[in-house]
């Protein structure tokens, strides 16, 4: 029986035509082809196969943490001049605005779990800056349960379901926490009423980790970022949260969506705590310890901006489910500190996005930077953005690319171990062993001649400047070798 016929027959041209996934218009998408009135289905019915096959693949792996969340688009604005401490492009100039996307979440529950669970909240922002996407992958607490990287997956296991009963398990929960007592500070936050925020709109966000804001001359400060809700911090007590878990488990998701729909655009004021490397060395607290804050009386907050969430996603899956944050999505002027938990997150977040969304997850529109040009990344599932066409997929001498300059390091870096980003330079030493092999070949009659001919018959197909550079390279192996290869090659070019 056809349900669609009556509609499709009479509609205007500007109404979209329903098609199969390959664009073929379909007469009746709800009808399937059968052998006669009551016979079996036909394998030739592509519309049916298309619908079933797609439906069977609708689910992607849910986030192993932060699975349940809500998000919205927005805008960041610089409120104060902080050019004395940073040259980050997004923060240059009072009034400068940057488009963004934010996502909030619970941590431990699955995608269908209750929003009002006692749990930290994820607080992630993606800023589409002129110099790439800058992600703030924060929480609503300024600290966390642990300070060692390997403990993260282990700790999360203890807060999830029991492997035998598939139930949340208070013994597991407290067994871990009472045997890993560095978590007590976070437990104080979690079991205060801030453990059950009233809504995503009414909670703060904290970087928790220490980052470095580094200037082009190599000078840097350590920083922690605070985002304070301008809606006011508001919480549920345990009873209220438990009741909502039953009556409206999607309360926070709904609250955010409805508020934006009503035009009540939530906003947060952003502050930074700034500490010099010298201060860090003698500070009372280890600044790379994620279980500690920087007391605000000693390191005051300095205001620098505000972001506002002002547009709901048009499609939850495309935007909220597929948005992919990582603390390693940084921009010039920001570097990770040596905090080991941050360091491990730099790896783990892109790794999980590769698994969840695929290697080309940055090509999904909500993740797409304003500009990206990395033609050394090639292929892989869903290479949909033209795959860089004919641009060489290696550093080609025919297609030069600009690279940004790296920052100089400072003496303080010795305290944490200096990071060096460089290639090992080519020296005469690199040719010594190649020369040794050339001499070995000379011990056997004909081997050197074969080598020269083998190179020449291949090299003759390369363009002239490449041939010339290669002759010079072989000259460094042996005084005559470059010239010998040149003579043999040019005869064949
Ligand atoms: P301060 O008295 O200078 O700061 C305390 C901060 O605690 C406030 O600025 C406020 O930050 C936050 N706060 C207020 N009420 C609550 C609450 N019910 N639950 C959790 N946090 C609250 O002291 P310190 O900076 O020395 O910090 C003292 C303790 O406060 C810390 O050990 C930490 O547990 C907590 N805290 C500290 C923060 C920091 O970055 N120093 C940030 C948040 C909490 P806000 O406006 O951000 O809520």
DSSP string, 16-83: PPPB-TTS-B-S-TT---BSTTT-PBPTT-HHHHHHHHHHHT---PPPSSS-SEEEEEEEEEE-S--T
> Which pLDDT belongs to residue 418?
77
> Which pLDDT belongs to residue 2?
40
> Which pLDDT belongs to residue 197?
98
| Strand ranges for 55-163 from DSSP E | 69-78, 97-106, 121-129, 132-139
Q: Of the candidates 91, 61, 59, which has an alpha carbon nearest to the alpha carbon of residue 77? A: 91
Whether 293 lines ligand 1, by a CB cut-off of 6 Å, is yes
> Which pLDDT belongs to residue 159?
94
472, 477, 483, 487: CA torsion to nearest 10: -100
pLDDT band at 380 (very low <50, low <70, confident <90, very high): very high
> Which pLDDT belongs to residue 8?
52
Tell me the average pLDDT of the chain.
Answer: 94
Question: What 3-state DSSP class applies to 397?
Answer: coil
Task: Dump pLDDT digits (tens) for 190-199.
Answer: 999 999 999 9
User: Contact 111/67 with Cβ under 8 angstroms?
Assistant: yes
- The DSSP code sequence of 195-264 is GSBS-GGG--EE--S-EEEE-TTS-EEEEEEEEEETT---B--HHHHHHHHHH-TTHHHHHHHHHHHTT-
For the chain, helix, strand, coil in percent to 5 are 35, 15, 50
How far is residue 74's CA from residue 98's CA, in Å, rounded to a whole number? 9
Task: Dump pLDDT digits (tens) for 47-97.
Answer: 999 999 999 999 999 999 999 999 999 999 999 999 999 999 999 999 999
Query: Which among 197, 226, 295 is the best mutation to test ligand 1's pocket, defined by most ligand atoms within 8 Å of the CB?
Result: 295
How far is residue 41's CA from residue 138's CA, in Å, rounded to a whole number? 52
Mean pLDDT of 435-440: 97
Q: Which of 139, 204, 252, 360 is catalytic?
A: 139
Please count the other Cβ atoms lying within 10 Å of the Cβ belonging to residue 202. Answer: 19
User: Contact 69/104 with Cβ under 8 angstroms?
Assistant: yes
Whether 194 lines ligand 1, by a CB cut-off of 6 Å, is yes
Q: 117: which DSSP letter?
A: S
Q: Which of 66, 73, 202, 226 is catalytic?
A: 66
pLDDT band at 473 (very low <50, low <70, confident <90, very high): very high
What is the value of pTM for the model shown?
Answer: 0.92
Mean pLDDT of 24-29: 94
> Which pLDDT belongs to residue 412?
78
Domains within the chain, CATH numbers bracketed: 1-58 (4.10.91.20), 69-177+184-367 (2.40.180.10), 428-490 (no CATH)
Query: Which among 227, 270, 296 is the best mutation to test ligand 1's pocket, defined by most ligand atoms within 8 Å of the CB?
Result: 296
How far is residue 289's CA from residue 411's CA, in Å, rounded to a whole number? 22
Please count the other Cβ atoms lying within 10 Å of the Cβ belonging to residue 211. Answer: 22
pLDDT band at 9 (very low <50, low <70, confident <90, very high): low
Mean pLDDT of 6-15: 65
Mean pLDDT of 375-387: 92
pLDDT band at 1 (very low <50, low <70, confident <90, very high): very low
- CB proximity list for 283: less than 8 A, separation 6 or greater: 275, 294
How far is residue 190's CA from residue 182's CA, in Å, rounded to a whole number? 14
Q: Of the candidates 225, 174, 177, 182, which has an alpha carbon nearest to the alpha carbon of residue 204? A: 225
How far is residue 227's CA from residue 69's CA, in Å, rounded to a whole number? 18
More confident residue, 148 or 10: 148
Q: How far apart are the first and last CA of the chain?
A: 72
- Cα four-point dihedral sign 191, 193, 196, 201: negative
* Confidence check: pLDDT of 431 > 90: yes
Ramachandran angles phi, psi of 74, nearest 5°: -170, -160
Question: What 3-state DSSP class applies to 280?
Answer: helix
Task: Dump pLDDT digits (tens) for 282-341.
Answer: 999 999 999 999 999 999 999 999 999 999 999 999 999 999 999 999 999 999 999 999
Task: Dump pLDDT digits (tens) for 234-290.
Answer: 999 999 999 999 999 999 999 999 999 999 999 999 999 999 999 999 999 999 999
Question: Can you read off the two tokens belonging to residue 389?
Answer: 């066409």
Q: Whose CA is nearest to atom 2 of ligand 1?
A: 296
How far is residue 230's CA from residue 202's CA, in Å, rounded to a whole number? 8
66 is catalytic: yes
Mean pLDDT of 161-168: 96
Question: Can you read off the two tokens belonging to residue 63?
Answer: 């986030």
Question: What 3-state DSSP class applies to 90?
Answer: helix
pLDDT band at 419 (very low <50, low <70, confident <90, very high): confident
> Which pLDDT belongs to residue 5?
44
How far is residue 164's CA from residue 51's CA, in Å, rounded to a whole number? 37
pLDDT band at 144 (very low <50, low <70, confident <90, very high): very high
Whether 59 lines ligand 1, by a CB cut-off of 6 Å, is no
Atom of ligand 1 nearest to the CA of 188: 34
139 is catalytic: yes
Question: Can you read off the two tokens belonging to residue 340?
Answer: 């080991």
């Amino acid at each position: 029986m056809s349900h669609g016929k009556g509609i499709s027959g009479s509609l205007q041209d500007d109404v979209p035509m329903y098609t199969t996934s390959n664009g073929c218009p379909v007469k009746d998408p709800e009808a399937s082809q059968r052998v006669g009135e009551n016979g079996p289905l036909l394998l030739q019915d592509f519309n049916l196969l298309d619908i079933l096959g797609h439906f069977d693949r609708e689910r992607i792996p849910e986030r192993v943490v932060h699975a349940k969340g809500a998000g919205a688009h927005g805008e960041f604005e610089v409120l104060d001049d902080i050019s004395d401490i940073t040259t980050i492009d997004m923060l240059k100039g009072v009034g400068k605005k940057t488009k963004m996307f934010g996502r909030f979440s619970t941590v431990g529950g699955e995608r269908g779990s209750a929003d009002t669970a006692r749990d930290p909240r994820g607080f992630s922002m993606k800023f589409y800056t002129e110099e790439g996407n800058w992600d703030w992958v924060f929480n609503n607490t300024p600290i966390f349960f642990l300070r060692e990287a390997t403990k993260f997956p282990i700790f999360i296991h203890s807060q999830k379901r029991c492997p035998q009963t598939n139930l949340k398990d208070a013994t597991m929960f407290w067994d871990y926490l009472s045997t890993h007592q560095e978590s007590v500070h976070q437990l104080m936050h979690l079991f205060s009423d801030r453990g059950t925020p009233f809504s995503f709109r009414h909670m703060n966000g904290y970087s928790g980790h220490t980052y470095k804001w580094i200037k082009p001359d190599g000078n840097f400060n350590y920083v922690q970022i605070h985002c304070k809700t301008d809606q006011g911090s508001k919480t549920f007590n345990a009873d209220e949260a438990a009741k909502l878990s039953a009556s409206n488990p999607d309360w926070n998701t709904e609250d955010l969506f409805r508020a934006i729909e009503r035009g009540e655009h939530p906003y947060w004021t952003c502050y930074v705590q700034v500490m010099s490397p010298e201060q860090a060395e003698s500070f009372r607290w280890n600044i790379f310890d994620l279980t500690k804050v920087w007391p605000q009386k000693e390191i005051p907050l300095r205001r620098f901006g505000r972001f506002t969430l002002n547009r709901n996603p048009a499609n939850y899956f495309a935007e909220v489910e597929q948005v992919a944050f990582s603390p390693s999505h940084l921009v010039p002027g920001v570097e990770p500190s040596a905090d080991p938990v941050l360091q491990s997150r730099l790896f783990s977040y892109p790794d999980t996005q590769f698994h969840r969304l695929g290697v080309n997850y940055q090509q999904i529109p909500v993740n797409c930077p304003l500009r990206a040009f990395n033609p050394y990344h090639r292929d892989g599932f869903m290479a949909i953005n033209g795959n860089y066409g004919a641009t060489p997929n290696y550093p080609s001498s025919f297609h030069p690319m600009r690279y940004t300059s790296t920052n100089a390091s400072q003496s303080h870096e010795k305290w944490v171990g200096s990071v060096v980003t460089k290639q090992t330079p080519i020296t005469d030493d690199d040719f010594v062993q190649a020369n040794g092999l050339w001499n070995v070949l000379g011990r056997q009659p004909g081997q050197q001649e074969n080598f020269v001919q083998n190179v020449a018959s291949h090299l003759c197909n390369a363009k002239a400047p490449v041939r010339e550079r290669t002759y010079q390279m072989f000259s460094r192996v042996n005084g005559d070798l470059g010239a010998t290869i040149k003579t043999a090659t040019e005869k064949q070019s």
